[in-house]
Amino acid sequence: MGSFARSGNALNVLIMAGVLAVGSVTLLALRWRLNALSFGDEEARSLGVDVRRCRLLVIGASTLMTAVSVCFCGVIGWVGLVIPHIVRLATGPDYRSLIPACLLTDACFMLAVDDVARVLVPGELPVGVLTALVGAPLFVYMLARNQRRAY
């Protein structure tokens, strides 16, 4: 269910920070290309984006960041699924503002959930339990709302 208990080691924090910095900088550098890709492959190519290379870089950076996070903290569900959609509602679809806002909002959300988990139980409550309690109802709400819009 995920926990921050093993991530407190200074070496682990340095490894995670380095890998997350490389992945974040890569995604931030590609943000205008991601905007072009949202219009489709042909439009992105006409704007000068190497679609295949851009996709490989985005997938590689995202996979690297996910792998190091799961390696040290375990699986913490719903954060990467629900929070970006909420942030997109607040900031809009422009990746120039969406990526930094998601990075900041996800980090703040995880800090808040970890604080609540440490206050609720004297032992260790997996953070994934609380994120599921928050994320699952929000996800169902967003699905229901989009379902109503489709008809």
Nearest partner of 105 among 80, 125, 126, 127, judged by Cα: 80
The letter for the amino acid at 72 is F
Scan for tokens 């996910």, then name that residue: 66
The letter for the amino acid at 93 is P
Secondary structure (3-state) at 27: helix
What's the pLDDT score for residue 151?
60
With beta carbons less than 8 A apart as the criterion, state whether 90 and 101 touch: yes
* Predicted model pTM: 0.84
The letter for the amino acid at 131 is T
Indicate if the alpha-carbon torsion angle 6, 8, 9, 11 is positive or negative: positive
The Cα–Cα gap between 120 and 53 comes to 46
pLDDT mean for each 10 residues of the chain (151 residues): 78 92 96 95 96 97 94 86 90 94 94 90 84 86 79 60
Nearest partner of 131 among 84, 85, 80, 76, judged by Cα: 76
Please provide the size of the chain in residues.
151
| Domain ranges (residues) in the chain | 1-73, 76-151
Q: What is the dihedral of CA 74, 75, 78, 80, to 10 degrees?
A: 70
Q: What's the token pair of residue 41?
A: 């492959």
Determine phi and psi for 9, rounding to 5 degrees.
-65, 135
